[in-house]
Amino acid sequence: MELDKQDIKKTVFSGVQPSGVLHLGNYLGALSQWVEMQNQYNCIFCVVDYHAITVKQEPKELSRRILDVVKIYLASGINPEQAVIFQQSDITAHTELSWILNCASARLADLNKMTQFKEKGAKKESVSVGLYDYPVLMAADILLYNTDIVPVGDDQVQHVELTRTLAERFNRDYGQVFKIPEASVRKQGARIMGLDDPSKKMSKSASSPANYIALTDSPEMAAKKIKRAVTDSGSEIKFDLKKKPAISNLLVIFSLLSGINISELETNYKNKGYGDLKNDLAEEVSKFLREFQIKYNSFTDEEVKRILKDGADKIRPVANETLRRVKEKLGIN
Ligand code: AQP
């Protein structure tokens, strides 16, 4: 029987590093998109712990955070009955394929172009080789599962582009193995900016907690952070990324959480000031966090460990089969 094209679901793969507390940027830029996709696609969501160790982590904290990231996935609405959730280090094919891509596809010139390394590396006195090489591991993560779509925030688009380059180069030089994936970036929310500095993205490794709203911040703390967020000169509430980057960022967060589009928000705040916008947004964020955290706190560590084990057991054969085909092409199977 011939399969109808409609019946073949596309595969979606994405992940988050357990490198700190997840924030609204992670949720609005990535996780909320994953939730929408799980009904339509074959979804695989990973906790990318090997990426987190590219910078020094405190071991006890890291193992705690791995479980917490899964709880965040679940609280965001990812359903483990629909989507596979697993821990990267549970499947050895990731590091094996990464090494192979390092040798067979990746070039220093490719990695030298990665802007995220330049930004992250610049802040540190000593930089690990892993931090430099992490886009190749990310390519391995994606390519192992014959991924079609990679939902990410816009800071990761360059890494998905590199993944395409490495896959195309391997297919050309050794024979067809890899599917060529595409990044999927939200029109709105692809880059939520820091509350303390709208020229930098909201980031879990930001030096000041005033930069982000953590998904585990108390609603009261989050409200305070919104009220203290930097604003722009002038008083008009208008979406204008160039002239009003801070207010535009607050409007994007407000719009995504409330479902009210930005032009409607501009109209609603026509004769009002920044303080009014911040008060209402603080309330919206607090309401979101209250509901989110009830769900987050309802999952036990035992449940999470079972979900991770089941996820890895289910998906490991797909990764191993891709790796087998790669090794065969290289003559090392
Ligand atoms: N500010 C952001 N706006 C929109 N999307 C964002 N993402 C991250 N920050 C924003 C997206 O969230 C997903 C998971 O990111 P990650 O944990 O893999 O690492 P990252 O992109 O490096 O995120 P952070 O918060 O900046 O972490 P650190 O500080 O540890 O590097 C990705 O899809 C990302 O695009």
pLDDT tens, position by position, 171-223? 999 999 999 999 999 888 889 999 999 999 999 878 899 999 999 999 999 99
List beta partners, residue 23: 214
List beta partners, residue 184: 151
Residues 6+ apart with CB under 8 A from 13: 43, 44, 45, 46, 141, 142, 145, 147, 149, 150, 181
The phi, psi pair for 259, rounded to 5°, reads 80, 5
Cα dihedral 308→309→314→317 (10° resolution): 110
26 in ligand 1 pocket by Cβ < 6 Å?
A: yes
Task: State the distance from the centre of ligand 1 to the C-alpha of 16, rounded, in angstroms.
Answer: 7
**Best of 155, 212, 248, 257 for a ligand 1 pocket test (most atoms within 8 Å of beta carbon):** 155
Quote the crossing angle between the two packed helices 157-174 and 115-122, to the nearest 10°: 130
Q: What is the pLDDT of residue 124?
A: 75
Q: What is the pLDDT of residue 59?
A: 97
Task: State the distance from the centre of ligand 1 to the C-alpha of 90, rounded, in angstroms.
Answer: 22
Least confident of 18-22, 64-68, 312-316: 18-22
CATH 3.40.640.10 corresponds to the domain 209-295: no
- The ranges of the chain annotated as CATH 1.10.240.10 are 209-295
Average pLDDT, the chain: 94
Query: If pLDDT is split at 50, 70 and 90, which confidence band does 3 have?
Result: very low
Question: Could you give the C-alpha distances from 79 to 44, 68, 221, 303, in angstroms and in order?
Answer: 11, 16, 29, 13
- Which residue, 183, 13, 181, is CA-closest to 91? 13
Let me know: does 181 contact 150? Beta carbons within 8 Å. yes
Catalytic residue IDs: 120, 201, 204
Which pLDDT tens digit goes with each residue over 81-117?
999 999 999 999 999 999 999 999 999 999 999 988 8
User: Which atom of ligand 1 lies at the shortest distance from residue 26's CA?
Assistant: 12
What percent of the chain shows pLDDT beyond 70?
98
88 in ligand 1 pocket by Cβ < 6 Å?
A: no
Task: State the distance from the centre of ligand 1 to the C-alpha of 172, rounded, in angstroms.
Answer: 32
Q: Is 22 helix (H, G, I), strand (E, B) or coil?
A: coil
| Domain 3-185+300-330 CATH (choose: 1.10.645.10, 3.40.50.620, 3.30.310.10, 3.40.50.1820) | 3.40.50.620
Least confident of 118-122, 220-224, 296-300, 327-331: 118-122
Let me know: does 58 contact 100? Beta carbons within 8 Å. no
Q: What is the pLDDT of residue 7?
A: 56
- The ranges of the chain annotated as CATH 3.40.50.620 are 3-185+300-330
| DSSP-assigned letter for residue 181 | -
Q: Is 272 helix (H, G, I), strand (E, B) or coil?
A: coil
203 in ligand 1 pocket by Cβ < 6 Å?
A: yes
286 in ligand 1 pocket by Cβ < 6 Å?
A: no
pLDDT surpasses 80 at 4 = no
Q: Where are the alpha helices (DSSP H) in the chain?
A: 24-26, 32-37, 49-52, 59-76, 93-104, 108-111, 115-122, 129-143, 157-174, 219-228, 245-258, 262-268, 274-296, 301-330
Q: What is the pLDDT of residue 261?
A: 95
User: Which atom of ligand 1 lies at the shortest distance from residue 155's CA?
Assistant: 35
Query: If pLDDT is split at 50, 70 and 90, which confidence band does 20 have?
Result: confident
pTM of this prediction?
0.93
Query: If pLDDT is split at 50, 70 and 90, which confidence band does 2 have?
Result: very low
pLDDT surpasses 80 at 326 = yes
Q: What is the pLDDT of residue 187?
A: 86
Task: State the distance from the centre of ligand 1 to the C-alpha of 222, rounded, in angstroms.
Answer: 19
Which pLDDT tens digit goes with each residue over 250-278?
999 999 999 999 999 999 999 899 999 99
85: how many CB neighbours lie within 10 A of its CB? Answer: 25
Distance of CA 89 to the CA centre of its chain: 17
- Which residue, 277, 276, 213, 211, is CA-closest to 247? 277
The phi, psi pair for 244, rounded to 5°, reads -135, 65
Rounded distance between C-alpha atoms, residue 269 and residue 6, angstroms: 45
Q: What is the pLDDT of residue 126?
A: 84
